[in-house]
Structures are given as C-alpha cells and as structure tokens.
Amino acid sequence: MQGACMSVLCVCICVSVLLRSAISQSHTESDTYTECTDGYHWDPQTEHCKDINECETIPDACKGEMKCFNHYGGYLCLPRSASVIPAPEPPITPTEAFNPCPVGYEPQGDSCVDVDECERDEHDCQPSQQCINTLGAFTCQCPDGYRKVGTECIDIDECRYRYCQHRCVNVPGSFSCQCEPGFQLAGNNRSCIDVNECEMGAPCSQRCYNTYGTFLCRCDQGYELGPDGFTCNDIDECSYSSYLCQFQCVNEPGKFSCVCPEGYQLLGTRMCQDTNECETGEHQCTEAQTCVNIHGRYQCVDNNRCQDPYVQVSENRCVCPVNKPACRDLPFSIVHRYMSITSERSVPSDIFQIQATSVSAGAYNTFRIRSGDDNGDFYIRQINNISAMLVLARAVSGPREYTLDLEMVSVNPLVSYQGNYQTSSALRLSIYVGPYTF
C-alpha cells in the first residue's frame, strides 16, 4: 500500500515538473518570437506583426496605368479611375480571457450563444460598409455600386455592361445615362426617345418637320432656305428671267406679279392686252368725232374728214364731183379706214387687204400706193383683178402714224367717160404703230 502511494506521488511530481517545464518553455519561446507571415513585419515596440506597405517599399509596384492600393498582407493594382475605400487598421486587443466556446460565441450559463459583433462594434468593416451579423461571425457588405475585393470596396463600372442606349457616364458607386442631341431620357432613365423639336420652339421661320433625332426647316413656295438652315428668304423670280412677264415683272414677298403699261390690261397672269377705250367709254371724244381704238391708246377723228373739193356722201366716204375742174386728176372717191399694228412686227407681213366693191364689165384694175410711203416701208401685192394686199416691208417702231392713199386704177376700153376710159378710187388708210411689241 505504501509502495502504491509512492508510485502515485512520483507520477504527480513528474507531471508537475513537466507542466512547469512546458510553461517555462512556452514563456521563453513567446519572449523570443519575432517572425511574421508574408506581408507583415515584427514591431518590437508593440510586440505585434504589422502590415508592410508594399506601395511604398516596392519601386514601381504597379505598371502602366495601374495604381497601387495597399491592404493587409499584400497590395492591389487597380485602374487609376477605381475608387477604393481603405480599411482602418485592425485594433490591437488585449489578451482575452479563456473562452470555452467556439469563435464568435460566448458562454451564457451552460450554453454558448452567438456574439453580435455588429452591435458590439467588434468588427473591422469599413465606415462605408454595412456590418451584417451571422452565426459565429459577421460579414462586411459594400454599398450599392461597389464590389468587395479582399477587404476593399471597389467601384463597379456599370458602363461596361451597356446599361445605357446612347452614352454612359460612370461615377463612384453609380452611373448615369445621357442621350445624343435630339433625344431625351425615357422614364426608365436608360433609353433615349426622340425629341419633337417642332413642338418645342424649333427656330424654323416657316415650316418645321420633325425627324428621328433632329428636325428640318422648309419654306413656302416663293422662298428658299438660307445658309443657316432656319431662315426663309424671298426668291426674286424677276431676276431669273426676263420672259416671265410680257411687259414688266414686279417681285413681291413669296411671289411675283406682272403689270402692263398704261392703255393695256393684264390677260391672264402674264400677257398684256390693249384696252379698248372706245368700248369701255374711257375716252374724251365728242359727238362730232369718232373714237378709233389703237394699241395702248385711242384716237378721236372727225366724223367728216372730206377735204375740198371732196364732199361727204356717207360715213367715211368722200366723192369728188365730176363737174368740178379740180377733180379731173384726183381719185373719184376716197374711203377712210383706220388700223393699228404693233412695233417690231416680223416682215414681210400682210397687214391690210384691199377689195374692190364694184367692178365694171371689161375693166382692168391695178393697185398702187399713191402717197404716204416716203420711206418705202410698204408695198402692194396684187392678188387678182379685184383685190390686193398691203404688205409691211420693213420692221417699224412706234409710236408712229402713217396715212397711206391706196389707189385702185380701173381701165375699161369698152366705156368712154368724157373721152377718158380710165378712172380711179382711193382708200385712205391711217396706220397707227403701237409703242410695244404686243
């Protein structure tokens, strides 16, 4: 029995010696430990491992357009546009008392309950991160628009995913969509819809047509679009051609009009027609006169134009009595006629036909210009025995007046009249040449 006790005592003493030796050895090793894992170095002042800032110790840690970001135990090379919220240094906590529960739990009576590190502020989440408690641990959640890389929150470049229809602008933690000119953002803030500039005060001076993404200005008839693409300028149609109007073209805003000279009236929209003042009553002729309409004006002629030795026998007809000696070498009768022609008429041109009213049997008739054609502007072309044509030989310009005596000489060998078988009659033709070609 005594031997047994001695044996047990020896075991107890040995265990005690071994425990003291182990405690002494552990204390000795703890006093001399100075090695840390990669990315850390021993700080003799705090007697803890401290993170190495590789961005400061390693020359050109990141190449090209990349930027160096230090974090615990290493570093990151990220684009310079990246936004990083640095994590704070982990707090140095004193040696905690022995906890028989798993990590993240604490004893409560005979059981272990979860520790809410977020509520106790016993977490290492960044100020911009949200701490979310889990059973036995916690997680750090980044704000919207960021993603977690290690302990850092890196901005997500949403523009890489083509969320916008037109243009995307990335900003820290978010993005915005922009539209091209002529479009505006739709209600979803991503799609672009056409803007109707015509309803929003487009600077068109006359007509506006909306198109996809823009608009077009157009002008009314008679106008043309200016160099600025907005203003409508009047077209001077009169400057384009001298043939728009027969007489004169007058430009007006958006159009043109034709006018005629005094004594003429517009025929349609461009032509000019002589005004017959004798028919409209716009003349000043007396009752003793006859109104003769001519191109551009009128002429008042006496009702009796017979001159001695002629006497009037009917309207426009004068006869020279055979019993008057002065009538021997004159035409037996003179008939007055009037006509008007335009200036610069094409030649040769038939202008007046002479027709005998009575012809004796066996008579032979010839026609000639007895007087009034001193410059040879006319000639007679005989058609047959009883008619002839007065022809304009040269182009003449007005205003001008001719008085031609056109004579028909009749020779009848079967009839003897006072011993003379030749008689004549004349047509006194007053020709008025108008001032214009119309």
Tens-place pLDDT, residues 370-392: 999 999 999 999 999 999 999 99
Does residue 216 sit in the same domain as residue 127? no
Based on the structure, what is the number of domains in the chain? 5
Does residue 241 sit in the same domain as residue 225? no
User: Looking at the predicted structure, is the pLDDT value of residue 47 above 80?
Assistant: no
String of b and e for 131-155 (b: at least 16 CB within 10 Å)? bebeeeebebebeebbeeeebbbbb
Does residue 410 sit in the same domain as residue 396? yes
**32 vs 389, which has greater pLDDT?**
389
pLDDT-based confidence at residue 51 (cuts at 50, 70, 90): confident
Does residue 230 sit in the same domain as residue 241? no
Does residue 354 sit in the same domain as residue 262? no
pLDDT-based confidence at residue 97 (cuts at 50, 70, 90): low
The per-residue pLDDT for range 160-194, each reduced to its tens digit, is: 988 899 999 999 999 999 999 999 999 999 999 99
Instruction: Note down the domain range covering 117.
Output: 113-154
**80 vs 289, which has greater pLDDT?**
289
Instruction: Map residue 436 onto helix, strand or coil.
Output: coil
177, 163 Cβ separation under 8 angstroms: yes
Which residue is it, tokens 């008042």? 300
Q: What is the CATH number of the domain that holds 341?
A: 2.60.40.60
pLDDT score for 17: 29
pLDDT score for 19: 26
Q: The whole model's pTM is what?
A: 0.56
422 falls within a domain: yes
Give the residue-averaged pLDDT of 402-406: 97
Share of the chain above pLDDT 90, in %: 65
Concatenate the DSSP letters of all residues of 99-113 into one string: --SPTTEEEETTEEE
Q: What is the CATH number of the domain that holds 127?
A: 2.10.25.10
Specify the pairing of strand 207-211 against strand 214-218.
Answer: antiparallel
